[in-house]
Structure 1
Amino acid sequence: MVDSIKVKINAIFFDIGGVLLHIYPNRMIQYISDATDISPAVLKKYFPSDVHEHYERGQISDDEWFAAFKAALPQPNCLKEIDFWRAWNQLLGQETDVVDIVIELKQNYPVWLLSNTNPRHIRNEIDGKYAFSQLADGTVYSFETGYRKPEKEIFKIAAGKAGADPSTCLLIDDNEENVAGSESVGFVALHYRNTTQLEQNLESLGVI
């Protein structure tokens, strides 16, 4: 629980996955497993996390990400690109009820999206398909900045884009490392666990 203290906030940044949007990594893995007959355990073992980070930094293309994923799996394998991208979209689920909080906050504050993400999910799924993407006053995405949370640089970029001093920026994120990273540059930050807790924390800060 956040101690009751009124703070000056000029911009609010929301994480996407796990906060505004339910995500289902196991559903994605299962789809690929069904398409390739490779077990979910093996798929998780060989998931190329380092290359995925490059993808989220915008350092490789969609085609290069698929090629790297396929190459990382036991060889030979029958993973088709069309099945891979269908599985990739299975990661994203429905919006959470945090979107209702976004609507309330937007009456008094600029609301931004700040996410480690990739162009495929933004371009093909999030933009235009989810209410929160239309509510946002601006976006800060890892693949556009070249930095990922919890790196300090992405938070500095976010504050700059919002035209706000970091001390007047609020981050809401479900990852404690990201919370700590934002606080290291002066952000006020809330570790999201559930909607009730978030509402209580926002009330304690005097934001709602």
Structure 2
Amino acid sequence: MKQIDTIIFDLGGVLIDWNPEYVFFDAFDGDKEKMQWFLDTICTSDWNENQDAGYPLAQATLDLINKFPEHEQHIKLFYGDWEKMLGGTIDGTVKILQDLIQSKKYKVVALTNWSHETFPIAQKRFEFLGWFEGIVVSGDEKTRKPFKDIYEICLNRFNITPEKSLFIDDNLRNIEAANTLGINGIHFKNSEKLIQQLKNYNIQLS
């Protein structure tokens, strides 16, 4: 194994707690079954990921209302109340990020599936997003993980050698895609386990 010189962080689910349930649990009056049906059937993760790849939020909302007019009120909530889906920071991982940057041993960047329309909201709220050497936002690039081209954009933009890089993401699908390009990967579960996983790559934290 080559020595790691670059660490690539995913954001949502790794450093930022984002969950549509923060909006829809109340919208469905605490009925988890109805909420889950709506998120599995109407405002699905696949639908949201299309906007992560640059599709306009207003058009996506209109498309879905045309398809499911009886759910118009709840569909409008998805992006209308999107900011309320940001639950806060995942503090343990933010501390790890801070330690890695302060060590000055690594290039530290981010690669995120995120709409270019909503990402500025997160930038205003989370100071640590300014700590990275750079961030590749899928919505800006009009593509997203797990497609090969977004990883290549990240590698080329920041002059990263795949075999010397380590990618941390909470979605195994995205890790497996990175692996095909020679990028080492850690499937994120929680901050405590991440510390141990980093040690496997000879990365010690203060």
Tell me whether the two structures share a fold, i.e. TM-score over 0.5: yes
CA RMSD across the alignment: 2.2
| Contact preservation (8 Å) 2:155, 2:161 | yes
Q: Report percent identity of matched pairs.
A: 25
| Contact preservation (8 Å) 1:48, 1:68 | no
Cα 1:178–1:80 shift into 2, 3 Å = closer
2:56 equivalent in structure 1? 61
Name stretches of at least 5 consecutive residues in structure 1 with no aligned partner.
Answer: 1-5
Paired residues in the alignment total 196
For 1:19, which of 9, 14, 19 is the aligned residue? 14
1:102 equivalent in structure 2? 97
CA distance in 2, matches of 1:184, 1:111: 21
Cα 1:19–1:180 shift into 2, 3 Å = same
| Contact preservation (8 Å) 2:6, 2:166 | yes
Alignment-mate amino acid for residue 87 of structure 2 = G
CA distance in 2, matches of 1:154, 1:77: 33
* The 10-residue stretch of structure 1 (198-207 or 24-33) with the greater mean CA deviation from structure 2: 24-33
* 1:202 is aligned to 2:179: no
CA distance in 2, matches of 1:50, 1:172: 21
Name stretches of at least 5 consecutive residues in structure 2 with no aligned partner.
Answer: none
CA distance in 1, matches of 2:124, 2:152: 27
| Contact preservation (8 Å) 1:172, 1:190 | yes
For 2:108, which of 106, 111, 118 is the aligned residue? 111
| Contact preservation (8 Å) 1:43, 1:73 | no
CA distance in 2, matches of 1:28, 1:72: 22
Matches within 5 A, 1:159-174: 159-174=155-170
Cα 1:23–1:54 shift into 2, 3 Å = closer
Q: TM-score, normalised by structure 2?
A: 0.84
Cα 1:146–1:65 shift into 2, 3 Å = same
Alignment-mate amino acid for residue 116 of structure 1 = N
